[in-house]
């Protein structure tokens, strides 16, 4: 992720925590940014597994009712 991308995440996290009445210290902010970046990478990876117009799964139970 680019520095600019990380900066945008940092800004959104600060806003989100402020809205909830919390503050993030520098260390926690760095770890949160890393986790969010990790989730973005996961989002990129799962795209490899799907076809162009595949439907989502949502709930598997009803799908298997028979």
Q: Which residues bind other proteins (CB under 8 A)?
A: 9, 12-13, 16-17, 19-22, 27-28, 31-32, 34-36, 38-40, 42-43, 45-47, 49-50, 54-62, 64-66
Residue 37: count other Cβ atoms within 10 Å of its Cβ. Answer: 14
Residue 18: count other Cβ atoms within 10 Å of its Cβ. Answer: 11
Query: Of 3 and 46, which has the nearer Cβ to other proteins?
Result: 46
- Asked whether 63 and 57 are in contact (CB, 8 A), the reply is yes
Q: Tell me how far, at minimum, the Cβ of 7 lies from other proteins, in Å.
A: 14
Q: Tell me how far, at minimum, the Cβ of 46 lies from other proteins, in Å.
A: 4
- Asked whether 17 and 24 are in contact (CB, 8 A), the reply is yes
């Amino acid at each position: 992720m680019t520095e600019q991308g990380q900066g945008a995440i940092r800004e959104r996290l600060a806003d989100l925590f402020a809205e909830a009445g919390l503050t993030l210290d520098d260390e926690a902010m760095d770890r949160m940014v890393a986790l969010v970046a990790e989730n973005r990478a996961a989002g990129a990876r799962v795209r490899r597994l799907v076809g162009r117009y595949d439907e989502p799964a949502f709930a598997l139970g009803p799908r298997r009712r028979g």
